[in-house]
Amino acid sequence: MDISGLTDRTFDAVIFDNDGTLTDSTDAVVRSWMTWADEHGVPRERLAGMHGIPAEGIIARVAPHLEGGPALERITQLEVEDSDGIAALPGAVAAIEALPGRCAIATSATAELAHMRLAAAGLPEPTVLVTFDDVEHGKPAPDPFLLAAQRLGVDPTRCLVVEDAPLGVAGARAAGCAVLGLTTTTPADELDADAIVETLADVRFVVDGDVIRVTSAEA
Residues annotated as part of the active site:
17, 19
Comparing CA positions, the residue from 211, 185, 210, 207 lying closest to residue 196 is 185
Residue type, 123: L
CA distances from 57 to 52, 60, 106, 140 (A): 10, 5, 16, 10
Asked whether the bond before 187 is cis by omega within 30 degrees of 0, the reply is no
Tell me whether residue 108 is exposed, middle or buried, using C-beta atoms within 10 angstroms of its C-beta: 0 to 12, 13 to 18, 19 or more. buried
Q: What amino acid is encoded at 213 in this protein?
A: R
